[in-house]
Amino acid sequence: MQLGGGPLRFWQSLAFTEIDQLRPLAVEAESAGFHGVLLSEHVFVPESFDPRYPYAPGGRPDFESETPFPDPWVTIGALAAATERLHFATLVAILPLHHPLPVAKAVATASRLSKGRVALGVGAGWMKEEFDVLGVDFATRGGRFDEAIAVLRAVWSGERVDFHGEHFDFPRLQMCPAPDEPVPIYIGGASPAALRRAARLGDGWVGAGNTPDEAVEILRRLRRLRGEAGRRDEPFEAIVPLVASPDRDSLQRIADHGATATVSYPFRYTLGSDATLEQKRVWLRRFGAEVITPLSSIGDRHAGPSPA
């Protein structure tokens, strides 16, 4: 998956979508001109949990325990088999919730089967109860996150590697299959820690939804942080969902500050939770005709955010 450059790309979020609709909607998204589709991860949703969700007032997310969260990598394998050009990424997988070796195996396999159409979007996680049930220390997720990224890149090399960190430790081993090319890792979240991690360790950043003004400020901060990390001239993907309508002025503005892609929101927000499969197909076709095609010229960007 090429990072940076080219026209602004469009992703469709398939979060919260009924599982039997995922394949036909992926096929429709490819036909409509979307660059890719995004999937979210929760292993489960507990019956009750403390309100810590950082992207909604009051800390309560807009999903319930019966909301579908299919395994993203099983799903991506199925959707990749049904498409030819469509790309896939997670927005986001909760990397510190897992040991990185099984994650590396699943992502590498999906990358090989899809011929490189996969990126790994990762976040630190916010639901402590999910960590508690799986026996993972919520308090150390930041350190686990950083080490897990290093483990992924090491084993994806296809070489025999060992690793000796504070949270993960293993002797020399080799993982096969390795990806044909490095899998991009996009860091999610808009907290200061998330932006620093994206600037230091990420191949890109993925947002959860911002106004154009907020997005521009985040992109400026990412540019400054990447400069401090000595990475300003490296390719960097910035997938920026907007809570405003995708008009030319807003998209051109974020592209001028380094955005490489934007996102069409989950159908439950654009069409409602009771929308039919056919209504969703019509939405994708209309978005392709009315947004992607006329606005596909936005871009002429370079590898990183432009100066403020």
Over range 223-233, report the average pLDDT.
Answer: 97
Query: pLDDT: is 64 or 39 the higher one?
Result: 39
Distance (Å, rounded) from C-alpha 269 to C-alpha 212?
19
107: its two tokens: 């992502």
CA–CA distance, 127 with 135 (Å, rounded to integer): 13
**Per residue in 236-281, pLDDT tens?**
999 999 998 899 999 999 999 999 999 999 999 999 999 999 999 9
Residue 185's SS3 state is: strand
> What pLDDT is attached to residue 302?
43
Q: What is the pLDDT of residues 182-214, one digit of tens each?
A: 999 999 999 999 999 999 999 999 999 999 999
187 DSSP β-pair partners: 122, 205
Spatial distance between the Cα atoms of 225 and 230, rounded to a whole number of angstroms:
9
Which DSSP string do the residues of 225-291 spell out, in sequence order?
A: HHHHTT-TTS--EEE--BSS---HHHHHHHHHTT--EEEEPPHHHHT-TT--HHHHHHHHHHHIIII
Domains recognised in the chain with CATH numbers = 9-295 (3.20.20.30)
Task: Report the predicted TM-score, pTM, of the whole model to 2 decimal places.
Answer: 0.94
pLDDT on residue 301: 46
CB 285 within 8 A of CB 34: no
Mean pLDDT of all residues in the chain? Answer: 94
Residue 83 confidence (pLDDT):
98
